[in-house]
Structure 1
Amino acid sequence: MNRPLYAVLPGGLDDPAAPSGGNRYDREVLRRLTATEHLLPGQWPRPALDDRQQLAAVLASVPDDAVVLLDGLVACGVPELLEPHAGRLRLAILVHLPLSDETGLPASTASSLRGYEYRALHLADAVVATSTPAARRVEELHGLTGVHAIPPGVDPAPLAPPSPTGNRLLNVASVTHRKGQDVLLAALDTISDLDWSCTVAGAGAFSGTVPDRVRFVGALAGDELDRAYANADLFVLPSRAETYGMVVTEALARGLPVVASDVGGVPEALGATPGGGIPGRLIRPDDPHALAGALRDWLTDPDLRARWRAGALARRETLTGWDETARSLGKVLETVNRSRREPR
């Protein structure tokens, strides 16, 4: 039998001032899932992340034996709220980033979050992560097997016309320690002898000194974000941690080569061309000198720019869309839907 799908999502899911890859993933797949025959449309309650009372009420309101997909940001830190319902609901938890893997956390905080998440994920009938490395990381952290890796899709996009010098750099990411904008600025400082400009598009404020040739333009969406990609030559993502890196495939969908940190799921997102080449370069994380070297090579070597652009165009042809992501998640939820429950 089909059961309604109830998706419990973060309260700021549609806040245009705070876009995130996790929110985009949730929106894109659930919009498609509720239009399929696998699962019937249910509710999308959106409790605030710190509103325990609201989340408890939401879970209590869901009918017995329903399938409930919970965003890990909402669920993984509150296993005590899930425990009363684990025996009567079919729970699937979507982990965008393990809670303890957020950068900059005190060791004691990371340890506490890891314990909460362990308890929460062991209550779930299915656990989903958004890349193959992320799935293996969740398994390693929490003694799990069978975590499903379901990477994000990407929308088709028009090609960004390249400039002759390739000197327009773009970073799209929330301005946080994890995303590494400080690493980017440190790298740019060492190549000040070269001609370049850099746009940083993301929510948040940078607290350090910003060079004249770097523009922090805030969070962009829709046509404004499309224009930012269209006016770029090279995409740069110096993150310290990423479960996937949706902006990498968004850049590749426009034919932009990518220089990015070799962390988490970023190599999976960057992928390879059919001939085995990489459409850009992976660098060590938290290493301004490695990033500066990659940028200097790009800006001073026309042949390298041509090779990377050709690689990006080839990789563009192999990207998959959100329909495939939704189908994969739908299969997992359908298995949860149809499985026989073990007593808890």
Structure 2
Amino acid sequence: MPSPPPAIRLLVPGNIRHNSGGNVYNAALVQGLEHLGAEVTIQPVAGYWPVGSKEERRRLAGLLTTGTTAGNATVTIVDGLVASGAPDAMEAAAAGGHAPWVLLHMPLDEHPDLEVRALRAAAGVICTSGSAAAEITRRHGLAGIRAALPGTERGQVAAGSEPPRLLAVAALLPNKDQLILLGALALLQDLEWTAALVGSDTADTDYARQVAAAVEQHGLGGRVQLPGELTGEALEQQWHAADLSLLISKVEAFGMAVTESVARGLPVIVRAGTGAVEALGLGAEPVPGAPEGAEPALPGAVVELEDSDEGNPEPLAILLRSWLTDPVLRAEWRRRALAGRDLLPGWDATARQVLGYVAPEASPGGHSSQPLADGE
């Protein structure tokens, strides 16, 4: 019989206030752990993370040794955005017998030297995607990196629109590359469609202004909406009106917008070479009669795009043109996305995995295969 779950403290970056994938994951994980009986506290850490200032890192070191005991009566998990740039704080905590776990959403590309020291000082590292875990293993040669993929809550099946409506749910940030998407849409003005780019316009105000300017420069003002960050019913209305979702980030550890799309029966276009491909694969069907190792049928498609600031939008425009003009292709992608809804794991699976890593004696064990709640 499992032991009672421990108290868990999750330290998260206080400077990330928009509706990021990391924030959504953290909140859903806490709820899942609480459903398993754990007492969980979320503790925002003030600072300009990653790295932060010397004083902010000093305060972090204090937090890591406050409210814990060397006997691990409380398990501390630190968001990787906070931990990876603060190796001194992590090492000091480990030296005092308080080594925390790290929940890593995205490798810290700008400071690999800091990251490797911080992760070596951790009690363990949990990545939120298999691609991130593989990259950390490759980059630093660290063994025993775990992965706990995001879960998904099944949403109401999208009704779509006429003409077809394209949806990109991501903060307006250079990495999310809305500019190349607008460049592709500018090449499709002979076809009927509308689009919405839903995401925070305050996370990077300079880039958000560039996106708004590009809409006008391309003459797309009557067809492309920039409603800003939406939540609740306003966001659900955007999902419900959509026919196709896009996540074409230059770098993506996973891409929860992908599984959130498939959970509503929406096919997705993702960028090759990113963790969004892994996310799309969770909703992929095995092909009946296909040889072992054959590619599954994705609920959407993967597109090759340049990573430069002046990337070529034509490959994306060509793929979108095919989808917009071929009703058979459109119907097949939709069929795959509807089938993929039943393949996505729930957040209960994520919580069980994380609890199994940080407190195996308290974990109920196993990976959830229960169907997602309809939410309809």
CA contact (8 A) 2:181 2:316 kept: yes
The AA in structure 2 aligned to 1:188 is: L
| Aligned-residue offset at 1:56 | 2.7
Instruction: Report the equivalent of 1:224.
Output: 234
Instruction: Report the equivalent of 2:309.
Output: none
CA contact (8 A) 1:128 1:147 kept: yes
Structure 2 gaps, min length 5: 49-55, 202-207, 288-295, 307-311, 364-376
1:328-339 correspondence to structure 2 within 5 Å: 328-335=353-360
CA distance in 1, matches of 2:120, 2:233: 42
CA deviation string 1:184-243 (max 9, x = no partner): 011111111111111000012241421211111101111111111001110011111110
| Aligned-residue offset at 1:36 | 2.5
CA contact (8 A) 1:274 1:314 kept: no
Q: Structure 2 vs 1, CA of residues 7 and 259 (structure 1 numbering), >3 Å: closer, same or farther?
A: same
Over 6 Å off, 4+ runs: none
CA contact (8 A) 1:35 1:41 kept: no
The AA in structure 1 aligned to 2:67 is: V
Instruction: Report the equivalent of 1:202.
Output: 199
Query: SS of the residue aligned with 1:277?
Result: coil
The AA in structure 2 aligned to 1:297 is: S
Instruction: Report the equivalent of 2:135.
Output: 137
CA deviation string 1:106-151 (max 9, x = no partner): xxxx2xx111101000011211111111110011111112211111
The TM-score, its normalising length taken from structure 2, stands at: 0.81
For the aligned residue pairs, the C-alpha RMSD in angstroms reads 1.9
Instruction: Report the equivalent of 2:112.
Output: 114
Instruction: Report the equivalent of 1:179.
Output: 176
CA contact (8 A) 1:263 1:285 kept: no
1:4 maps onto 2:7 in alignment:
yes
Instruction: Report the equivalent of 1:84.
Output: 92
1:181-330 correspondence to structure 2 within 5 Å: 181-204=178-201, 205-207=208-210, 208-210=213-215, 211-212=220-221, 213-271=223-281, 272-275=284-287, 276-286=296-306, 287-330=312-355
| Aligned-residue offset at 1:255 | 0.5
Which deviates more from structure 2 when the two are superposed, residues 266-275 or residues 125-134? 266-275
CA distance in 2, matches of 1:224, 1:237: 20
| Aligned-residue offset at 1:180 | 0.9
Structure 1 gaps, min length 5: 101-109, 339-344
Matched-pair identity in %:
38
| Aligned-residue offset at 1:99 | 1.3
CA contact (8 A) 1:175 1:206 kept: no
CA distance in 2, matches of 1:124, 1:98: 15
> In the comparison of the two structures, how many residue pairs are matched?
321
The TM-score, its normalising length taken from structure 1, stands at: 0.88
CA contact (8 A) 2:65 2:98 kept: no
CA distance in 1, matches of 2:360, 2:118: 20
